[in-house]
Structure 1
Amino acid sequence: MSSLEEKTLHSEEIFSGKVISLHVQDVELPNGKQSKREIIKHPGAVAILAVTDENKIVMVEQYRKALERTIVEIPAGKLEKGEQPEVCARRELEEETGYVCENLELLTSFYTSPGFADEIVHVYLAKGLSKKENSAALDEDEFVNLEELTLTEAMKYVEDQKIYDAKTAFAVQYLQLQEAIGSK
């Protein structure tokens, strides 16, 4: 047990939605005092850095209500109950872009906002892409525009804040690093 650990004394779910739930917890701090924590529970997600044979990054432009604007992102989606991340990655890639891949490699996993949420995102690299004739459909409340960008174009999108989320910024930086060291 870490000397920094907070002991949960009481936890109450105050909201349960389609994607998240919100819990308020009473905790005992390392110094013996008590405090409250508001914790978002999330089933986890995947993100797919899909690169075509022409070295184009497959992205989707999508309206994000929380931001009140569209941004350009790598394809991503939440895990269904009991779904393995690799299965989810293949499903989301096909649903959002119409592509399927021959090769899928886990690059990393990271927590998006550990100060208040337990969401973990598993980032995959997809290569050997091909368009599927009758691909799976988007969710009924999901609308996207497909974009295929060079690394230079993606870097410009980051600069212009068209790419403005952590998972996609990570993907662009990953490719920059790979280019700099001459691999992948």
Structure 2
Amino acid sequence: MNRDEDVKILERETCFQGFYRLDRLQLSHRLFAGGMGRPISRELFVRHDAVCVLPYDPQRDRVVLIEQFRVGAMDKSPSPWLIEVVAGLIDKDEQPDEVARREAVEEAGLTLGELWPITQYYPSPGGSDERVHLYVGRCDSLGAGGIHGLEEEGEDIRVLVWSLEEALAAVRDGRINNAASIIALQWLALNRDEVRRRWS
């Protein structure tokens, strides 16, 4: 199916405009059985695309993760401090790889070498248009750590340096419970030999 031919936007209104935007759409779309469906109403959370990068030290087989407060986890988790990969929004005239490098410096004090694109995906396409660009970034983990983040953005970020096995154990037991981190770590587990061969 083709978006331009098979989806008809009948009405679109902005219900809220802040750092993010919420739109309400009336639309109809082509049905698998043929013809157009009846009009439906959908709310759409309009966000900038995001970039997430897992810093990886292939010499030491260690990953650099960050821990920070997340308001979205406050009501449904024992702790709203989540262990994550480095991440940021594409909110300027930047390419995704530039955002990955900038955020690694801001959030973890790291200068990344080569970037290995993993995938692009939609974390919640039933109600948001956000797309995530996911990378593994080569780093030197020696000396990594401390507290980072931009004070003007209210960031308070602790840097963690773990072996890949420790990080995968945290995925298995639920300590790492966010999509970008799980996808990146599982991808690295599957592709570690090739990544280390190329980056060693």
TM-score range, shorter chain: 0.7 to 0.9
Identity among equivalent positions (%) equals 32
Partner of 1:150: 163
Partner of 1:15: 16
How far did residue 28 of structure 1 move?
A: 2.0
How far did residue 137 of structure 1 move?
A: 5.0
How far did residue 139 of structure 1 move?
A: 4.8
Conserved? CA contact 1:43–1:81, under 8 Å: no
Letter in 1 for 2:22: L
SS of residue in 1 equivalent to 2:112:
strand
Which has more helix, going by share of residues?
Answer: 2
SS of residue in 2 equivalent to 1:99:
coil
Which has more strand, going by share of residues?
Answer: 1
SS of residue in 1 equivalent to 2:140:
strand
Runs (4+) of structure 1 exceeding 4 A deviation are none
Q: 1:1-184 residue pairs with structure 2 within 5 A?
A: 2=2, 5-18=6-19, 20-30=20-30, 31-52=36-57, 53-68=59-74, 69-129=80-140, 138-140=150-152, 141-179=154-192, 182-184=193-195
Superposition TM-score, scaled by structure 2 size? 0.81
How far did residue 102 of structure 1 move?
A: 2.0
Letter in 1 for 2:61: N
Unaligned runs of 5+ in 1: none
Superposition TM-score, scaled by structure 1 size? 0.88
Conserved? CA contact 2:149–2:156, under 8 Å: no
Letter in 1 for 2:190: L
How far did residue 159 of structure 1 move?
A: 2.2
Q: 1:129 to 1:16 in 2, by over 3 A?
A: farther
Letter in 2 for 1:174: W
